[in-house]
């Protein structure tokens, strides 16, 4: 398990764009389970949508991508992990993205990201987001770990 302080040691993202609060489970090179608590106090709800707040799909996909980034970084060799502050994950593509159900303030958005394929510094991932066990979003993500 990793808390937000440990996540910030891996990802360069910070408020208001750090979109995972905790890692529940992780198996290097295989999968990650993480979550974000969606709060009405988030700035995005000022405009999306007043009187009918819905967490934007693009933010859900970015949260999946961030969870995938943690998985990729934690799957690096020990030598590469020592140089983590000089690395960054760039997403190359998002395919077959589907939004199944809206996410609202008060929801706990759980990200489940699994490795489809990994070759060198390229990662192909399957991302899914759930609220209360119900699938809200899914996408295939392709990413590359690069030097900054």
User: Would you please indicate which residues are annotated as catalytic (active-site) residues?
Assistant: 48
C-alpha–C-alpha distance, residues 110 and 137, integer Å: 10
Burial class (CB in 10 A: 0-12, 13-18, 19+), 3: exposed
In which order are the strands placed within the sheet that holds 122-131?
22-27, 31-37, 108-119, 122-131, 134-147, 87-99
Tokens representing residue 107 in the block? 């929801």
Tokens 């993202």 identify what position? Answer: 13
**SS3 state of residue 105:** coil
- Nearest CA to 128 among 32, 43, 54? 32
């Amino acid at each position: 398990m990793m808390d937000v302080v440990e996540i910030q040691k891996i990802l360069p993202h910070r408020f208001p764009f750090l979109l995972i609060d905790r890692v529940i489970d992780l198996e290097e090179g295989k999968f990650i389970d993480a979550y974000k608590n969606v709060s009405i106090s988030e700035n995005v709800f000022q405009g999306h949508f007043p009187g009918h707040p819905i967490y934007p799909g693009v933010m859900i996909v970015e949260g999946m991508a961030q969870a995938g980034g943690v998985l990729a970084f934690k799957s690096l060799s020990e030598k590469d992990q020592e140089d983590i502050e000089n690395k960054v994950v760039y997403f190359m593509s998002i395919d077959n993205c589907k939004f199944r159900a809206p996410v609202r303030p008060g929801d706990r958005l759980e990200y489940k990201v699994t490795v489809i394929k990994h070759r060198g510094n390229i990662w192909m991932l399957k991302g899914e987001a759930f609220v209360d066990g119900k699938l809200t979003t899914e996408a295939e993500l392709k990413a590359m770990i690069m030097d900054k």
